[in-house]
């Protein structure tokens, strides 16, 4: 039973297990190299660097390594200069040197993420080096060398050991977002005809927003991979932008669904909106499956037919004079719903087009 459970769970965590193996391989390889060249403290900083900068994707590892090396180099060189030029034999002198070293580097880190590790490196150079009997210059050189070794190991392992490109992670994240949207959209549309749990819908909307933001970051990494010819896949930008626009449609729908429409409009529109919810959810789930399978986009005909049927019912409401008794706010919400649905139709079409582009290449 245990092995059956493991066999069932492993495919679900394939990307996470790949990252686990790469991080472990990076740490062990850096440890072996550090011992071969007799770095102090058993190569502590080389191993830590290799583990820290190993990211889920190749582009992420390259970016983290470059930022880590830049921050380390800046912090180590500056700390070495301060340690040489400013006497610090007493406890007060050490505190003063630390303040002089940390303050400007912390300001630089606030300005640029590339210098986030600079204050950390300065502290190591000034304090750890002294404990090991090394001068500030020797400590800085050792720190830079260990970080360079750790970074090189992380990039090499990310490239050679079960490599995962940012686009692969992006496609997986996009499929997860589509599944989330398929759960949220029916709840939003239901809010126009009867009360819904507003806090729960807001929480789900927030989760979709965070996921879309995470996807944007992965798209940036994927573009870096394409720029350095690490991958020849189609640009993932159109898919990301399509999901972002659908997310904006959800925001519009959420604002209008805060209070149900008045009767008898709510009763007349419940069935058309329910049909849209069902067909749109099916389309979103089929789109997620298409991403996983690298297949073409699902048909959009059922969604478009459901939106057309809704428009016919709204026109019938107006012809019957049922909108005349509605307040200005209620009419605004009714018309904003129609606008959002038409925009959703357009954005679903863009999504289908981007899915066809995404299916044009196979992923490893």
Taking only the tens place, the pLDDT of each residue in 249-288 is: 999 998 888 888 888 888 899 999 999 999 999 999 999 9
Which of 150, 98, 105, 106 lies closest to 129 in space, CA to CA? 98
pLDDT at 342: 94
pLDDT at 10: 62
- Contact between 245 and 177 under an 8 Å Cβ cutoff? The reply is no
- Contact between 39 and 146 under an 8 Å Cβ cutoff? The reply is yes
Q: Rounded CA gap, 292 and 38, in Å?
A: 47
Residue-by-residue DSSP string for 166-183: HHHHHHHHHHHHHHHHHH
pLDDT at 364: 37
CB atoms within 10 A of CB 182: 19
Q: In the numeric block, which tokens belong to residue 318?
A: 């107006």
pLDDT at 217: 83
Residue 341: HSE in the Cβ half-sphere, 13 Å Cα cutoff: 30
Q: Rounded CA gap, 160 and 29, in Å?
A: 13
CB atoms within 10 A of CB 278: 16
pLDDT at 17: 85
Classified as helix, coil or strand, 229 is: coil
Q: Rounded CA gap, 175 and 349, in Å?
A: 17
Classified as helix, coil or strand, 115 is: helix
Q: In the numeric block, which tokens belong to residue 48?
A: 């830590």
What angle (nearest 5°) sits at the alpha carbon of residue 111, between those of residues 106 and 114? 80
pLDDT tens column, 47-65: 999 999 988 777 788 888 8
pTM exceeds 0.75, yes or no: no
CA 167 to each of CA 76, 230, 239, 264, 360: distance values in angstroms, whole numbers, following the listed order:
35, 11, 11, 49, 13
Q: Rounded CA gap, 24 and 46, in Å?
A: 13
Backbone φ and ψ of 87, nearest 5°: -65, 140
Q: Is 164 exposed, middle or buried (0-12, 13-18, 19+ CB in 10 A)?
A: buried
Q: Rounded CA gap, 129 and 90, in Å?
A: 16
Classified as helix, coil or strand, 320 is: coil
pLDDT at 6: 58
CA dihedral 16, 228, 174, 276 (to 10 degrees): -170
What angle (nearest 5°) sits at the alpha carbon of residue 242, between those of residues 16 and 274? 95
Q: Rounded CA gap, 18 and 56, in Å?
A: 8
Q: Rounded CA gap, 329 and 358, in Å?
A: 42
- Contact between 343 and 350 under an 8 Å Cβ cutoff? The reply is no
Residues of the chain with pLDDT under 50: 230-231, 362-364
């Amino acid at each position: 039973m245990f092995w059956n459970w493991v066999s069932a769970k492993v495919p679900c965590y394939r990307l996470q297990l790949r990252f686990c193996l790469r991080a472990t391989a990076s740490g062990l390889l850096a440890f072996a190299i550090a011992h071969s060249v007799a770095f102090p403290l058993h190569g502590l900083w080389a191993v830590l660097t290799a583990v820290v900068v190993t990211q889920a994707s190749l582009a992420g590892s390259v970016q983290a390594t470059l930022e880590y090396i830049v921050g380390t180099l800046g912090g180590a060189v500056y700390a070495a200069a301060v340690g040489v030029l400013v006497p610090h034999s007493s406890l007060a002198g050490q505190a003063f040197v630390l303040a002089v070293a940390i303050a400007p580097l912390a300001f630089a880190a606030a300005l640029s993420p590339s210098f986030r590790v600079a204050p950390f490196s300065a502290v190591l150079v000034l304090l750890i080096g002294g404990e090991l009997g090394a001068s500030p210059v020797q400590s800085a050189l050792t720190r830079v060398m260990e970080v360079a070794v750790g970074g090189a190991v992380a990039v090499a392992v990310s490239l050679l050991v079960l490599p995962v490109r940012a686009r692969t992670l992006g496609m997986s994240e996009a499929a997860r977002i589509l599944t989330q949207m398929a759960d949220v959209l029916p709840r939003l549309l239901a809010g126009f005809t009867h009360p819904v749990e507003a806090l729960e819908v807001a929480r789900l909307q927030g989760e979709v927003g965070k996921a879309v933001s995470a996807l944007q970051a992965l798209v940036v990494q994927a573009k870096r991979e394409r720029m350095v010819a690490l991958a020849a896949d189609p640009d993932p930008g159109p898919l990301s932008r399509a999901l972002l626009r659908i997310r904006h449609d959800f925001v519009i729908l959420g604002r209008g669904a805060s209070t149900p429409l008045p009767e008898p409009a709510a009763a007349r529109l419940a069935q058309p909106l329910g049909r849209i919810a069902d067909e749109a959810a099916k389309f979103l789930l089929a789109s997620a499956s298409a991403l996983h399978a690298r297949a073409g986009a699902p048909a959009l005909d059922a969604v478009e037919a459901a939106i057309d049927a809704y428009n016919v019912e709204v026109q019938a409401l107006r012809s019957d004079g049922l909108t005349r008794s509605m307040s200005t706010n209620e009419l605004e919400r009714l018309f904003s719903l129609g606008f959002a649905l038409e925009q959703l139709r357009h954005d679903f079409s863009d999504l289908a087009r981007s899915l066809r582009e995404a299916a044009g290449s196979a992923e490893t």
